[in-house]
Amino acid sequence: MAGLATAVTGSLNALIGASGACVRSKAPLELRGPFPGAAYYLRNVTAGVFGGDAYEVDVTAAAGSVIRIASSSATKVHDSAGRESSLRVRLAAEPGATLLWGPHATIIQTGASYRQSTTVSLAPGSRVVLGEILVLGRLARGEQFEFTRLESNFDVTLEGAAVYSEAYCLTPGADLAASMAGRGVLASVYILGAEWPALEERLICTLKNEPLAGCSALPNDAGVVVRCFCDSLSQGQALVEGVLRLVSDR
């Protein structure tokens, strides 16, 4: 393994409320803010994620607060050189809090092996809205589905009880390209702790011009998920931003 760059381990732990944020972080992760509307930006000040890098992010929205955390730019996951990189995110909303997480865009480049896991903990009367955009290659360069492996795990608890879980592992090939209708971007929004009937009509209206988009209720009254296959990062960004606006306006 001679010649490989030293792996980076970064972490950030934040409790955020109406009066501000209490943050502990380890470079290269930073939290900037607050900006108008109780908004914050999560930054990785390096050139991206490389093989062996491991990041952990813990964010809690304090009781009764409405907080939004987005990324200042897309995260680039580079060639892993045989070493997996990873990101673990833990989000919690205390009673009556709303945490808007995203949009967060990740570009999975040629040779990247990347594992991400997200855990969301809901308290009574709280909501977490999580927007994610996965870009499977540097599409503007004609690169698509050339990564090595992408693993994702997502778990939701309500008052400590598991209510929803999903996991998938993607590897390039004809099956993946066909399942995504040749599109290189997967945009997702999880609206957790929200009632499906109250959102159904408005979400369907928002997605009416997206032929490869859909929305549905999650089991155990966990919330709602919106998903869309897109042609570009900008299209995915616009869709996620639209859903976030719809939800935050309620």
User: Could you list the residue range(s) of the whole structural domain that residue 156 is in?
Assistant: 9-248
Q: Is residue 195 part of a domain?
A: yes
Whether the CA torsion 116, 118, 60, 235 is positive or negative: it is positive
Q: Which residues contact 178 (CB under 8 A, 6 or more apart)?
A: none
Q: Is residue 200 part of a domain?
A: yes
CA angle at 181 for the pair 176 and 186, rounded to the nearest 5°:
75
Give the H/E segment covering residue 240. helix 233-248
Q: Is residue 93 part of a domain?
A: yes
Q: Is residue 80 part of a domain?
A: yes
- Confidence (pLDDT) at 197: 86
> Rounded CA gap, 31 and 64, in Å?
21
Is there a contact between 84 and 117 (Cβ–Cβ < 8 Å)?
no
**Cis, peptide link before residue 28, omega less than 30° from 0:** yes
CA angle at 207 for the pair 205 and 101, rounded to the nearest 5°:
110
Q: Is residue 144 part of a domain?
A: yes
Q: Is residue 4 part of a domain?
A: no
- Confidence (pLDDT) at 5: 65
> Rounded CA gap, 166 and 156, in Å?
9
Q: Is residue 215 part of a domain?
A: yes
- Confidence (pLDDT) at 2: 44
- Split into its structural domains, the chain has a count of 1
Q: Is residue 1 part of a domain?
A: no
Whole-structure pTM value: 0.94
CA distances from 6 to 49, 108, 213 (A): 12, 20, 40
Mean pLDDT by 10 residues, the chain (250 residues): 71 95 95 92 93 97 96 93 96 97 96 98 96 97 97 97 97 96 97 90 90 94 96 95 85
Report DSSP letters for 19-59, one per residue. Answer: TEEEEEEETTEEEEEEETTTEEEEEE-SS-B-TT-EEEEEE
On the CB side of 241, CA atoms within 13 Å amount to 9
Provide the total of helices (H) and of strands (E) in the chain, helices listed first: 3, 16
